[in-house]
Amino acid sequence: MKTRPLGRSGLDVSAIGLGCMGLSHAYGPAADRTDAIALIRLAVERGVTLFDTAEVYGPFTNEELVGEALAPLREHVVVATKFGFRDADANAGLDSRPTRIRAVAEASLRRLRTDRIDLFYQHRVDPAVPIEDVAGTVGRLVEEGKVLHFGLSEAGSETIRRAHAVQPVAALQSEYSLWWREPEETVMPTLEELGIGFVPFSPLGRGFLTGAIDADTAFASGDFRNTLPRFSVEARRANQALVERIAAIAAGRGVTPAQIALAWLLARKSWIVPIPGTTKRHRLDENVAAAAIELSPADLDGIDAALAAVAVHGDRYPPDRQRQVGR
């Protein structure tokens, strides 16, 4: 697989990474542990070098899984994790106090079975803690060799600038995909100017953009998508029109809708590295293969036209989660 630089940070990673969250968290019951470890190791075999987790996924179990899977392969991979939710609970509010950041770093290092976190993201901007204090704390962890690079997630432009002035930010991880393009206006110009990489999360629209989900799909109880306005039955029914157009473009190219969604992100900027998640080996292969798909200007025009023709229904987050993004 080709590699890409995450901005001017010096961090080079596979053009497509693996989002590990769904192996233990958010999308129904956790995957079988042995299968999940095999999937992560298969990703390394396929050339994936960027693996994404967070203390809050599980909580803790996803880091433990990633740590176990990658321990024998540690020298070949980049491990990214995140701090910033109170008590490692995404429903308990935010906590980026310096003492908490240090405690998470130490605990994450243990769970990940490693002596360094390659990329340590603040999961959400905490309005109670100045971003300079957060950046300074991560900067000291960098000086100590416990963290190699600093990242932010769902931060706004002003916060990115202030953080970057204290401790260089290697990457921003925020939602970005065919059906969520707000970052193009809000943060991407800043990322380009400052030389910061962009790691789109939910690049497959949490599965919807692949065509594998429709209005009849029943999610398991506890599946996070049950809480998202964009995944209400009505929204899914309306948004099916977008998937149909993407599927038609994919068929014309002899690829899959998931591959169009990923190849489109890769075509936007050379410093973009999407991290699709999957629990299935055949889908891992499908997603990884998207790194080799070059979309032509005509393909990109066709995708733009399809996106312009369909209005996406449903907010991406419920109000409480929405308040935590873009700050």
Cis (ω within 30 of 0) for the bond into 59? Answer: yes
Return the amino acid letter for 8: R
Is 168 a binder of ligand NAP (CB under 6 A)?
A: no
Among 58, 168, 183, 207, binds ligand NAP (CB under 6 A): 207
Is 283 a binder of ligand NAP (CB under 6 A)?
A: yes
Contact 86, 34 (CB under 8 A): no
Among 2, 280, 296, 318, binds ligand NAP (CB under 6 A): 280
10 Å CB burial of residue 210 (0-12, 13-18, 19+) is buried
Token readout for 87 is: 């008590």
Among 108, 114, 210, 324, binds ligand NAP (CB under 6 A): 210
If binding means CB under 6 A, how many residues of this protein chain bind ligand NAP? Answer: 29
Among 58, 183, 277, 302, binds ligand NAP (CB under 6 A): 277
Contact 234, 42 (CB under 8 A): no
Return the amino acid letter for 323: R
Closest residue to bound ligand NAP by CB: 19
176 belongs to the catalytic site: no
Question: Among the options 57, 121, 176, 317, which is catalytic?
Answer: 57
CA 176, distance to chain mean position in Å, is 9
Long-range Cβ contacts of 281-287 (<8 Å, 24+ apart): 281/38, 281/39, 281/42, 283/258, 284/18, 284/39, 284/42, 284/43, 284/46, 285/46, 286/256, 286/258, 286/259, 287/16, 287/204, 287/258, 287/259, 287/262
Among 30, 212, 247, 307, binds ligand NAP (CB under 6 A): 212
Point out which span in 19-27, 38-46, 100-108, 137-145 binds ligand NAP (CB under 6 A): 19-27
Among 4, 11, 24, 52, binds ligand NAP (CB under 6 A): 52
Is 278 a binder of ligand NAP (CB under 6 A)?
A: yes
Tell the residue number behind the tokens 């789109």, with chain if given: 200
Token readout for 161 is: 């600038």
Is 287 a binder of ligand NAP (CB under 6 A)?
A: yes
Is 49 a binder of ligand NAP (CB under 6 A)?
A: no
Contact 200, 265 (CB under 8 A): yes
Is 84 a binder of ligand NAP (CB under 6 A)?
A: no
Closest approach of Cβ 17 to ligand NAP, in Å? 8
Is 302 a binder of ligand NAP (CB under 6 A)?
A: no
CA 193, distance to chain mean position in Å, is 21
Site map 93..112 versus ligand NAP, x via CB under 6 A: --------------------
How long, in residues, is the chain? Answer: 327
Is 118 a binder of ligand NAP (CB under 6 A)?
A: no
Compare residues 24 and 190 and give the one whose CB is closer to ligand NAP.
24
Is 58 a binder of ligand NAP (CB under 6 A)?
A: no
Binding to ligand NAP, residues 226-265 (CB under 6 A):
258
Residue 189, CA atoms < 13 Å, CB-side half-sphere: 5
Contact residues toward ligand NAP (CB under 6 A) are 19-22, 27, 52, 123, 153-154, 173, 201-207, 210, 212, 258, 275-280, 283, 286-287
Residues with active-site annotation: 57
